[in-house]
Amino acid sequence: AAGVIQSPRHLIKEKRETATLKCYPIPRHDTVYWYQQGPGQDPQFLISFYEKMQSDKGSIPDRFSAQQFSDYHSELNMSSLELGDSALYFCASSLGLAGVTDTQYFGPGTRLTVL
């Protein structure tokens, strides 16, 4: 079965640079979630989109922005990178916002290292 695809899988950037992470949800899934997992931490919710509209927002820095496109893929844009942004960034997708079908399936993650 098709899974969530994230690219790139690994990314190394310098401080103050920008990074773009991409997420391709499971086919027919219309909802995308972004999570950040620091070393030894639990995943923290950043932002979500349903039908190309932002549906919820968590502890996402103002330096970060995201959007969902017409084909339902999503991109997380990160600017003025800081050392503390080094983390594993997960994308998850689901079908709809409510009910059992809203189970979130995670991609493999993008490991971002800021030097």
Terminal C-alpha separation, the chain: 36
Give me the least distance between CB of 16 and other proteins, in Å please: 27
What's the closest the beta carbon of residue 111 comes to other proteins, in angstroms? 8
Q: Nearest approach, Cβ of 10 to other proteins (angstroms)? A: 11
Over the window 24 to 43, marking each residue x when it contacts other proteins by CB under 8 A and - when it does not, the resulting string is -------x-x-x-x---xxx
Question: Which residues, including other chains, have CB under 8 Å from residue 89's CB and lie 6 or more apart?
Answer: 6, 21, 34, 35, 36, 37, 76, 109, 110, 111, 112
Distance CA 2, CA 114 (A): 31
Query: In angstroms, rounded to a whole number, what is the distance separating the alpha carbons of residues 32 and 49?
Result: 5
- Based on the shown chain and the rule CB under 8 A, indicate whether residue 106 belongs to the binding site for other proteins: yes
| Phi, psi of 54, deg, nearest 5 | -65, 130
Work out whether 45 is an interface residue with other proteins (CB under 8 A). Answer: yes
Question: Interface mask (CB under 8 A) for other proteins, residues 50-89, using x and -?
Answer: x----xx-x-----------------------------x-
Is there a contact between 19 and 113 (Cβ–Cβ < 8 Å)? no
Instruction: Return residues touching other proteins (CB under 8 A).
Output: 31, 33, 35, 37, 41-45, 48, 50, 55-56, 58, 88, 90, 92, 94, 97-100, 102-106, 108-109, 111
